[in-house]
Homo-oligomer: A and B are copies of this chain.
Amino acid sequence: MVTPPSLTAAPDSPPASAGAVGVGAPTAVPILASPSFSPLYQQIKTLILRSLQNGEWRPGEAIPSEIDLAARFKVSQGTVRKAVDELAAENLLVRRQGKGTFVATHAEEQVQYRFLRLASDVAAAAVPGSTHREFLDCRRLPAPADVAAALHLRPEDSVVEVRRVLHFTGQPVVLDDIWLPAHLFKGLTAERLSEYRGPMYGLFESEFGVRMIRAEEKLRAVSADEGVATLLKVAPGAPLLSVERLAFTYGDQPVELRRGLYRTDRHYYRNELS
A145 at the interface (CB under 8 A from B): no
State the number of copies, please.
2
A237 at the interface (CB under 8 A from B): yes
- How many interface residues does A have (CB within 8 Å)? 34
Given A240-B239, A272-B214, A274-B91, A219:B264 Cβ within 8 A: yes
A216 at the interface (CB under 8 A from B): yes
At the interface with chain B, which of A10-18, A60-68, A220-228?
A: A220-228
In chain B, what residue has the closest Cβ to A78? B78
- Cross-chain contact B239 with A270 (CB below 8 angstroms): no
Which residues of chain A from 233 to 274 have any CB-CB distance to chain B below 8 Å in the complex? Answer: 237-242, 245, 262, 264, 268-274
- Cross-chain contact B90 with A269 (CB below 8 angstroms): no
A37 at the interface (CB under 8 A from B): no
Given A221-B241, A237-B237, A241-B220, A215:B270 Cβ within 8 A: no
Given A115-B273, A213-B274, A218:B91 Cβ within 8 A: no
In the docked arrangement, what's the CA distance between A268 and B245, Å?
12
In the docked arrangement, what's the CA distance between A155 and B90, Å?
43
- Cross-chain contact A273 with B215 (CB below 8 angstroms): yes
Given A237-B237, A239-B239, A239-B240, A273:B221 Cβ within 8 A: no
In chain B, what residue has the closest Cβ to A118? B219
Which residues of chain A from 102 to 138 have any CB-CB distance to chain B below 8 Å in the complex? Answer: 114-115, 117, 119
In the docked arrangement, what's the CA distance between A130 and B144, Å?
35
- Cross-chain contact B269 with A216 (CB below 8 angstroms): no
Which residues of chain A from 196 to 219 have any CB-CB distance to chain B below 8 Å in the complex? Answer: 213-219
* Known interface pairs A216-B271, A221-B240, A221-B242; 20 further A-B residue pairs with C-beta atoms within 8 A, sorted by A's residue number: A114-B273, A117-B271, A117-B273, A119-B218, A214-B273, A215-B273, A216-B273, A217-B271, A217-B272, A217-B273, A219-B241, A219-B264, A219-B269, A219-B270, A220-B268, A221-B222, A223-B239, A239-B239, A241-B241, A271-B271
